Amino acid sequence: MLQSTAFAWLALATASVAQFGIKHSQYETSPPVYPSPNITGAGGWEEALEKARAFVAQLSLEEKADMVTGTPGPCVGNIAPIPRLNFTGLCLQDGPLAIRQAVYASVFPAGLSAAASWDRDLVHQRGVFMGEEFKGKGAHVALGPVVGPLGRSPFGGRNWEGFSPDSYLSGTLVEETVIGMQSAGVQACTKHYIGNEQEIQRNPTTVDGTTVEAISSNIDDKTMHETYLWPFANALHGGSASIMCSYNRINGSYGCQNSKTLNGLLKDELGFQGYVMSDWGATHVGVAAIEAGLDMDMPGGIAFTSASPSYFGENITIAVNNGSLSIERVDDMILRIMTPYYHLGQDAGYPSVDRSTQPLGFFPLANYVHQFTLGPLVDVRDEHAKLIRELGAAGTVLLKNMNNTLPLKEPMNIGVFGNDAADFTQGQYTLSLSNGLSSGNYDIGTLAVGGGSGTGRFTYVVPPLDAIKARGQSYGALVQYMTDNYAISNSGLSSLAPTPPDVCIIFLKSWASEGDDRATLIAEWNSTVVVENAAAVCPNTVVVLHGAAPNVLPWKDNANVTAILAAHMPGQETGNSIVDILWGDMNPSGKLPYTIANQESDYAKNLVNSTELAESTDPLAWQADFTEGNIIDYKEFDAQNKSVAYEFGFGLSYTTFELSDLQVHVSAANSTRTPSTTAKIIPGGNEELWQVLATVSATVKNTGTVDGATVPQLYLSFPSEAGDDTVRNLRGFDKVSLGVGETASVEFSLMRRDLSYWDTAAQAWRLPSSAIGVDVGFSSRDLKLNGQITV
Ligand SMILES: *[C@@H]1O[C@H](CO)[C@@H](O)[C@H](O)[C@H]1NC(C)=O
Ligand SMILES: *[C@@H]1O[C@H](CO)[C@@H](O)[C@H](O)[C@H]1NC(C)=O
Ligand SMILES: *[C@@H]1O[C@H](CO)[C@@H](O)[C@H](O)[C@H]1NC(C)=O
Ligand SMILES: *[C@@H]1O[C@H](CO)[C@@H](O)[C@H](O)[C@H]1NC(C)=O
Ligand SMILES: *[C@@H]1O[C@H](CO)[C@@H](O)[C@H](O)[C@H]1NC(C)=O
Ligand SMILES: *[C@@H]1O[C@H](CO)[C@@H](O)[C@H](O)[C@H]1NC(C)=O
Ligand SMILES: *[C@@H]1O[C@H](CO)[C@@H](O)[C@H](O)[C@H]1NC(C)=O
Ligand SMILES: *[C@@H]1O[C@H](CO)[C@@H](O)[C@H](O)[C@H]1NC(C)=O
Ligand SMILES: *[C@@H]1O[C@H](CO)[C@@H](O)[C@H](O)[C@H]1NC(C)=O
Ligand SMILES: *[C@@H]1O[C@H](CO)[C@@H](O)[C@H](O)[C@H]1NC(C)=O
Ligand SMILES: *[C@@H]1O[C@H](CO)[C@@H](O)[C@H](O)[C@H]1NC(C)=O
């Protein structure tokens, strides 16, 4: 019964895939690409490569095996020291928004908030400060940033760790982040490569004694290049030292042993010079993974919480000695690991590992096989709170503002409601997988970042309620509050007096954590009832959403809901960030980095999940066919001309702006249609792809009554020769701050890659021969300026 259901499902998937031209007999296959390319040092790492060669030349075979295999130690990932060579080992730490388990360290806004700011400078600065904190705590490698998941499914449980489902926005911001982090001397590890778009069945399971393999993301070549690989190319262009391969399979082959994605796309086509490390426990084989391009096995053991045997480690020694693995390949693995180490000057004295950063219980001391030196506890926060507060506010999107209810004008009776307004009630590290917290039981307490390995331990948090109390008290206001959603759901605001408050601010939260996908896009904990009960009493109700996104907003048209703010995951200064927006100290300038649909069912769910699959003993039951190709998020709604609640790129301000004077300038006319095949391959691909061929400019003016910032956005529509995705594609944006009445010129540089589509037959980026549509505006659906460009 279950089996036949599974097969019926597969037959359906096969049929729908056929129309997109994917060869899909029953399951995808990934073409073999061997051998693994050697490092060349291209792109500025030549000198560091020579130092790495001198280092490798001194290693014994056993030391070589150690250099590519994790070992129990004080960090979440550890490479053993070699005291003989003054090499103190490598310390790898989670994660993308904080040095996860450390105290006296900052918890920064999540990637989602960074993306909603659309602010290259703030995102760059966030990278610099995170890099400084990792280095200060003795971590050589930061396990972030994230561009996989990209956000194919709005339900994806880890989307918030990355930036946006738009590959251009994600690509731009990941590059800034990598450059920022590495400028502080820490190695970035961009992850998870690739197609890691859902949490459910990301790893193999055992059903009735049968191993059922992890989900396979079956992605055609065009979609791979134009959507999922795109931001990874930016990360490499920014110099990412490392790439983490993912748990899932791609076209049937595991992410850490897929020679097409690792040898082919990453190291050959994109010219990657650094090393590929496995996600924790994502290595399923030894020599075969190495030949396919995997360079480092993390955390080393097969059972990854202890000092268990490894597919690498001693097995490498055995494989080299018995002739099944060449020593040259092992040397290349180490050169790839040590070149960025020298390039970033990590050999020139590095802080020792702060003893407070140890992942408690992860590696019991008894399991250590190597001696690690621990340093004292250090406070690495510096003045980073200022940027965190600013970016938290900059990543807040004003969606609705009826009758200019915001900014607040010193209301004397303020109501604050909702479980997200309150301080933590279950500790400052409540968001980890290990203590089993979930949307079901993490009730009262603000949600400032998500859960799992991408979380952070809060040295402090400023909860929204505390910040509002402080602000209200500064001018003598009454602040009335209820933070128990159960009480609000069952008794409304009956405890209030006097009522109604001048303004009622409701804080809702949407849970998301590594390890599971989101079951709903409506904020949990009875949020709809909470809003309706408050709005029934308060004709001036402001709703603030924290946590995962996108959400759908069933109460958005309630006439008493006068303002809505998508405040995302602002990190430790969350309360101050929202107060700055509510009282107008910061004029909101965040824009949605995703689409908010009218209702949940308007989205393509793009998530494979069912009871039948969960119970299936077919080892290959879990198949995710990316049949929608590039058409995700706003492209999906635009392709179908479907109305939305709030479109990609949208966000209100307390002032108004106007755009005028579109200019299109082709700087390199009549370029060859594809880049020269003899041009240099630099990290990020053929160097000609990164050359500017055209610029588009426009004039923006602040026409309102207060200073503010906005984000002019450039969208390109490719002619039909580019394939079935002739919808608009973001290809430029710029955050501009303008005083009242001020104007500025914005200029968007278009590189060859921006103007090209992926030609699968030629295996190259191709400039279209006919005109490309050019639209500039303030969102993906507010496009005042229109033109064309022919390159
Ligand atoms: C996956 O299969 C599709 C269809 O055959 C192909 O276009 C694509 O290049 C393959 N990708 C990988 C990584 O194997
Ligand atoms: C890598 O370099 C080694 C020599 O160090 C050579 O034997 C091997 O063929 C090279 N591999 C590739 C793919 O070029
Ligand atoms: C290790 O460091 C010591 C002290 O700085 C130095 O004398 C020695 O030459 C170094 N050894 C190597 C192999 O670099
Ligand atoms: C080598 O790998 C195998 C799995 O293929 C594992 O069972 C074995 O214990 C490993 N050996 C060592 C010495 O780590
Ligand atoms: C060589 O060693 C590797 C690792 O233990 C093993 O997987 C492989 O089967 C061995 N090959 C031969 C020919 O003994
Ligand atoms: C908003 O303004 C409209 C029109 O001016 C008015 O009808 C409505 O009552 C106002 N709503 C609130 C909540 O002030
Ligand atoms: C949710 O709201 C309903 C009223 O609509 C109430 O009966 C129920 O107790 C609430 N549940 C929780 C968990 O707050
Ligand atoms: C996945 O499916 C299972 C079984 O139907 C269900 O219990 C679970 O809630 C689903 N998960 C999500 C995230 O939809
Ligand atoms: C809006 O507020 C008014 C005044 O408090 C109330 O009479 C009305 O029922 C409210 N509307 C909704 C939809 O809750
Ligand atoms: C899209 O919808 C708008 C408004 O509903 C309509 O005017 C337009 O013709 C539609 N375009 C297409 C391509 O269906
Ligand atoms: C464009 O380039 C082609 C081939 O290089 C050349 O024949 C043609 O004259 C050029 N056209 C213009 C307008 O420059």
CATH number assigned to the domain covering 384-586: 3.40.50.1700
Percent of the chain scoring above 70 in pLDDT: 94
* Residue 293 pLDDT: 98
Tokens of 73: 């130690």
Distance 314 CA to ligand 5 centre (A): 11
Task: Determine which helix (DSSP H) or strand (DSSP E) holds 189, and give its type and residue range.
Answer: strand 187-193
* Nearest residue by C-alpha to atom 10 in ligand 9: 536
- In this model, does residue 188 exceed pLDDT 90? yes
40 lines ligand 2 (CB under 6 A): no
* Nearest residue by C-alpha to atom 4 in ligand 7: 489
Mean pLDDT (the chain) is: 94
* Nearest residue by C-alpha to atom 8 in ligand 5: 319
According to CATH, the topology of domain 2-348 is TIM Barrel (3.20.20)
Distance 669 CA to ligand 11 centre (A): 9
Residues 6+ apart with CB under 8 A from 130: 97, 98, 99, 108, 142, 144, 180, 181, 184, 186
Question: Which residue out of 33, 38, 262 has the highest number of ligand 2 atoms within 8 Å of its CB and is therefore the one to mutate?
Answer: 38
This prediction has a pTM of 0.95
1 pLDDT band (50/70/90 cuts)? very low
* Residue 365 pLDDT: 80
Measured between alpha carbons, how far is 705 from 138 in angstroms, rounded to an integer? 48
* Nearest residue by C-alpha to atom 12 in ligand 8: 519
pLDDT by residue (tens digit) across 660-708?
999 999 998 889 999 999 999 999 999 999 999 999 999 999 999 999 9
- In this model, does residue 19 exceed pLDDT 90? no
Distance 200 CA to ligand 8 centre (A): 9
3 pLDDT band (50/70/90 cuts)? very low
* Residue 426 pLDDT: 86
Q: What is the CA radius of gyration of the chain?
A: 26
φ and ψ of 28, to 5 deg: -65, 155
φ and ψ of 655, to 5 deg: -125, -175
- DSSP 8-state symbol, 261: I
* Residue 670 pLDDT: 81
606 lines ligand 8 (CB under 6 A): no
531 lines ligand 9 (CB under 6 A): no
Q: What top-level class would CATH report for the domain 655-789?
A: mainly beta
What is the pairing mode between strands 413-417 and 478-482? parallel
211 lines ligand 2 (CB under 6 A): no
560 lines ligand 9 (CB under 6 A): yes
Q: In what order do the strands lie in the sheet with 657-666?
A: 657-666, 692-702, 743-751
Give, in degrees to the nearest 5, the angle at Cα 633 between 652 and 630: 140
pLDDT by residue (tens digit) across 479-522?
999 999 999 999 999 999 999 999 999 999 999 999 999 999 99
- In this model, does residue 237 exceed pLDDT 60? yes
When pLDDT is averaged across residues 206-218 and rounded to a whole number, the result is 97
* Residue 437 pLDDT: 52
Distance 30 CA to ligand 1 centre (A): 6
* Residue 401 pLDDT: 98
* 208 a catalytic residue: no
Alpha helices (runs of H) in 516-607, residue ranges in sequence order? 527-537, 574-582
* Nearest residue by C-alpha to atom 5 in ligand 5: 315
pLDDT by residue (tens digit) across 430-441?
655 444 455 557
Distance 86 CA to ligand 3 centre (A): 6
536 lines ligand 9 (CB under 6 A): yes
* Nearest residue by C-alpha to atom 8 in ligand 4: 309
Q: Where are the domains of the chain?
A: 2-348, 384-586, 655-789
Let me know: does 290 contact 272? Beta carbons within 8 Å: no
Active-site residue, from 66, 166, 279, 354: 279
Q: Which residue has the tokens 């390319």?
A: 37
| Conformational region of residue 763, where left means phi above 0, alpha means psi within -120 to 50, and beta covers everything else | left
551 lines ligand 7 (CB under 6 A): no
Tokens of 393: 């506010």
| Equal CATH topology for 2-348 and 384-586 | no
Question: Which residue out of 504, 531, 560, 561 has the highest number of ligand 9 atoms within 8 Å of its CB and is therefore the one to mutate?
Answer: 560
* Nearest residue by C-alpha to atom 1 in ligand 6: 403
When pLDDT is averaged across residues 188-213 and rounded to a whole number, the result is 97
